[in-house]
Amino acid sequence: IRRPPRSTLFPYTTLFRSAAVWCLLSLRMADENVHGWKSIGLGTILGTALGFGYNLDLGSGPLMFAAAMLLLVVRVRKPLPVITTALAASPWIVACHLTNWAIGGVTGPLNAQPEYLAWPGSPFSTGNMTGVMRHTPGSFLLYAASLLGGKHGILTHNLPLMLCLPALVLIFRRGPWRWELLATLGWCGASWALYALMSNNHSGGSCSVRWFVPFLAPGFFLLAIQLKEHQESVAD
């Protein structure tokens, strides 16, 4: 098995940390006692983490920001933390797109531009680069399933996450953290669908799908809530 270079993993292990901050702070900011300067401080930290994460992967990063902001609007229902979070994230987001424009003349991901991968001897083309839709409905379903449970699948290489499958029932029950689970796991689902649709290379020469490393945070977030709500599941 060929291990990927550390440089290819860094954005995703760092985005995992941003996702973990989001999971933790989403619970804290939903507390009815959080208001005033306290909500401004938490919103600033959350916005900074989301903005930084936005830069790390222009596939799942923007989706995480959108899911987090939607959760704040629905769950907190207070304008101050929502505005503070958005303002704290905005410099990072603006800088991301301005930098891409200054370097390559595009606001989106540079590696999704076929002409930038067309140097002599390049191993990339529209046949294997990420950012191009090329699946038939059948191949899309097979490829999407392989990203989760295939040879390179995120669940295959992180067996404790298999416990998330029966724990998913929590999102269909009324509970104190249902909205947090819907937002964080919805982000994972949307990112998975996006990469399944726009790629066919299993993220390149990796032991597992490196794009999905950040999913570990919402996955174990779900398991923590499952154990909190159903302590009889500890033995399982």
Convert 71-98 into a string of H (helix), E (strand) and C (coil): HHHHHCCCHHHHHHHHHHHHHHHHHHHH
CA distances from 84 to 18, 32, 75 (A): 17, 17, 15
pLDDT at residue 111 in the model = 81
CB neighbour list of residue 22: distance below 8 Å, 6 or more residues apart:
46, 49, 50, 53, 64, 68, 184, 217
Residue type, 126: T
CA distances from 146 to 34, 42, 73, 151, 155 (A): 42, 38, 34, 7, 10
* Mean predicted confidence (pLDDT) in 208-217: 93
* Mean predicted confidence (pLDDT) in 163-182: 88
Sign of CA dihedral 78, 82, 88, 90: negative
Q: How many CB atoms lie within 10 A of CB 28?
A: 14
3-state secondary structure of 121: coil
CA atoms within 13 A on the CB side of 108: 9
Q: What is the mean pLDDT of the chain?
A: 89
| Predicted confidence (pLDDT) at residue 2 exceeds the cutoff of 70 | no
pLDDT at residue 6 in the model = 56
pLDDT-derived band at 29, boundaries 50, 70, 90: confident
Q: How far is CA 157 from the centre of its chain?
A: 18
What global pTM score does this model have? 0.90
* Mean predicted confidence (pLDDT) in 157-161: 91
pLDDT digits (tens, 9 = 90+) for 82-107: 999 999 999 999 999 999 999 989 88
pLDDT-derived band at 221, boundaries 50, 70, 90: very high
* Mean predicted confidence (pLDDT) in 193-215: 89
pLDDT at residue 7 in the model = 58
**What percentage of the chain has pLDDT greater than the value 70?**
97
Structure token digits, residue 196: 């399944």
* Mean predicted confidence (pLDDT) in 196-214: 88
